[in-house]
Amino acid sequence: MDTFRERFAQKLPPDYKRELLNVVGDNDMVVVYVRHTWTSHDGQHKQALGFDMFRVQDGKIAEHWDADA
């Protein structure tokens, strides 16, 4: 819990944007692809690509995996 409290307490840059690129589903698996863009403290434009993968059971998320690159 402490790890997540610290992570979610961090303020995002004012121009932070998360763009949904694609959603793919097959049986009980769903993958959501996203692009994150922002300007860093030194003024450089940054971009990261990532995904979230979910296993759905009985209409609810049963498992979740993610990665950012």
Q: Output the pLDDT for position 68.
A: 60
How confident is the model at residue 8, as a pLDDT? 80
Tally of domains within the chain: 1
- Residue pLDDT tens, the chain, 69 long: 787 788 788 888 999 999 999 999 999 999 999 999 999 989 999 999 999 999 999 999 999 998 865
Q: Supply the range of the domain harboring residue 46.
A: 2-68
Task: Note the pTM of the prediction, 2 decimals.
Answer: 0.73
Q: What is the CATH number of the domain that holds 57?
A: 3.10.450.50
Q: What is the 3-state secondary structure (H, E, C) of the chain?
A: CHHHHHHHHCCCCCCCEEEEEEEEEECCEEEEEEEEEEECCCCCEEEEEEEEEEEEECCEEEEEEEEEC
The pLDDT of residue 30 is 96
Question: What was the pLDDT predicted at 69?
Answer: 53
